[in-house]
Amino acid sequence: MPPLHRYLGNPILTAIGRLFFGSKCRDFHCGLRGFNRDAILSLHLDSPGMEFASEMVVKATIFKLRIAEVPTTLSPDGRNRPPHLRSWRDGWRHLRLLLLFSPRWLFLYPGLAIFLLGLTGTLILLAGDFAVGDITFEERTMVITAAGINVGFQAMLFWIVANTIGIQRGFLPHYTNFVRFRRMIHLERGLALGTALILLGFAAFIGALFEWSAVGFGPLIGGKATRWVIISGTTVMLGTQVLYGSFLLYVLEYRAAAGAGRSSDVPSPLPISSFSRSLGQ
């Protein structure tokens, strides 16, 4: 194998796949495969390029098919033409596929980390300036940390949407815990939470007006008023995301619930068809 593939591409992409999906497979890209025909057809593999090999391992893993590895040796194939593989293009296609089948690593984990960092920084700076050695963080820094709250929350909302679509289209399993989570945050609760956040944001804005009135509505240089304005804008944005996100999820799941003949107003993701649980005897 070329050194780029042997020491960088194959090991790194396989390590990412093992991390994302808990797979025990030590080589996601080996093209020598034996499989049960019915089991592999039930996975509905769609990839048009080199990432097909990774899709086979990923789907077989997440749908709990039995996989066994037998060591093999890569030998020159004797072709008199260059290979069709393009290292960087096909490496990106493999990585893109791994991210597609793992919304948690694409959206949830990064979003949660950004959200918590932004929330922690915002709460610290809301209480006042924060100094680290000769560097002092003020309300200008608070603008960035507050933005992190919204960016992180938006990424986590994308995780919910991506999971919902993935389950409906059948390329993600019908995760029981996720379905329970979705039932807990149905449309009406989302609307109530979003409205509460928006009202809280307006309350923070009123607090900022009181702080401004203390200086006769004159120029503001730092102080609590600026911080309360940042909190107001952040909270209103969060509430708006919750409101529209709740309606978006309801739109995505409404047809699935109607097709299943549900009488409840609380939809749940459309379950996938059953899959074979073994690659062979």
Q: Give per-residue pLDDT as tens, 130-187.
A: 888 888 888 889 999 999 999 999 999 999 999 999 888 888 888 888 888 888 888 8
- Closest C-alpha among 114, 104, 124 to residue 149: 114
The per-residue pLDDT for 88 is 81
Could you tell me the two tokens for 261? Answer: 């003949």
Cα distances (Å, whole numbers) of residue 97 to 63, 152, 174:
16, 22, 19
Alpha-carbon distance 180 to 71, whole Å?
41
pLDDT digits (tens, 9 = 90+) for 68-126: 988 888 777 777 777 677 778 888 888 999 999 999 999 999 999 999 999 999 999 98
184-188, 272-276, 277-281: range with highest mean pLDDT: 184-188
Cβ pair 232, 200 in contact under 8 A: no
Q: What is the DSSP string of 181-229?
A: HHHHT-HHHHHHHHHHHHHHHHHHHHHHHHHHHTTTT----SSHHHHHH
pLDDT at 274 over 80: no
Does residue 196 or residue 253 have the better pLDDT? 196
The per-residue pLDDT for 221 is 63
- Report the DSSP beta bridge partners of residue 135: 132
Does residue 9 or residue 38 have the better pLDDT? 38
Mean pLDDT of 190-208: 91
Tell me the average pLDDT of the chain. Answer: 83
